[in-house]
């Protein structure tokens, strides 16, 4: 508990470092744009990253409810699922939290007697990463479904016409 309470006090710094780490997964020029342009319609990626990371940070620190965390994670992973990342790169940013939390915790909290509390913290981060990977996989399946639907819409008239024949089949044996 001592660990979590201490991390609650460092919440703003943890979030800032985390956001910075995520921005560094994009090219340098772009990280600046994603960070500096505040209009959510001119900069939807930056707005999504900063909004949802705050919720996820609170989730790991036990400051937000799972019902709040789930949509935030979904929104963020949906975005990264179609950006220029491999599957592991999509979810990798979640593991940054382990390192950042240790940096922010200070020397005393990194000492051996805190091992159990750190293990519990790391498990929360791992849970979040596993959920993220589930969402990523579901997104990729959704993409397959959407692509199939798109192909069908393009030949709508053919389908419509063939369904007509299905509804009015030739009598058998004729």
| 3-state SS assignment for residue 120 | helix
- Within positions 145 to 174, which residues make up the interface with another protein, using CB under 8 A? 146-147, 149-151, 153-158, 160-161
| 39 lies in the binding site for another protein (CB under 8 A) | yes
Q: Which two tokens stand for residue 35?
A: 């960070």
User: To the nearest whole angstrom, how small is the minimum distance from the Cβ of residue 2 to another protein?
Assistant: 27
| Neighbouring C-alpha atoms within 13 Å toward the C-beta of 29 | 0
Burial class (CB in 10 A: 0-12, 13-18, 19+), 121: buried
**Sequence-ordered alpha helix ranges (H) in 24-114:** 28-36, 44-60, 66-81, 87-92, 96-105
Please tell me the distance from the alpha carbon of residue 150 to that of residue 172, in angstroms, as a whole number: 34
What is the pattern of x (binds another protein, CB under 8 A) and - over residues 65-104? Answer: -------------xx--xxx----x--xx--x--------
Q: Is 37 in the site for another protein (CB under 8 A)?
A: yes
Q: Which is nearer to another protein, 1 or 151 (CB)?
A: 151
How many residues at the interface with another protein, by CB under 8 A?
42
Tell the residue number behind the tokens 């596993």, with chain if given: 130
Binding mask 112-151 for another protein (x = CB under 8 A): ------------------------------xx--xx-xxx
Q: Write out the residues near another protein by the rule CB under 8 A.
A: 21, 24-30, 33-34, 37, 39-45, 78-79, 82-84, 89, 92-93, 96, 142-143, 146-147, 149-151, 153-158, 160-161
């Amino acid at each position: 508990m001592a660990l979590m309470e201490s991390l609650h006090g460092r919440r703003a710094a943890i979030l800032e470092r985390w956001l910075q780490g995520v921005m560094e997964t994009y090219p340098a020029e772009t990280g600046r744009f994603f960070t500096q342009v505040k209009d959510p319609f001119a900069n939807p990626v930056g707005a999504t990253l900063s909004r949802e990371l705050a919720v996820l940070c609170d989730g790991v620190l036990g400051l937000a409810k799972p019902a709040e965390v789930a949509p935030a994670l979904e929104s963020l992973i949906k975005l990264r699922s179609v950006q220029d990342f491999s599957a592991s790169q999509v979810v990798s940013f979640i593991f940054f939290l382990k390192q950042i939390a240790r940096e922010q915790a200070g020397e005393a909290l990194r000492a051996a007697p805190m091992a159990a509390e750190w293990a519990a913290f790391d498990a929360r981060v791992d849970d979040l990463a596993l959920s993220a990977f589930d969402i990523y996989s579901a997104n990729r399946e959704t993409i397959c479904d959407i692509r199939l639907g798109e192909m069908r819409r393009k030949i709508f008239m053919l389908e419509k016409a063939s369904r007509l024949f299905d509804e009015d089949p030739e009598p058998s044996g004729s």
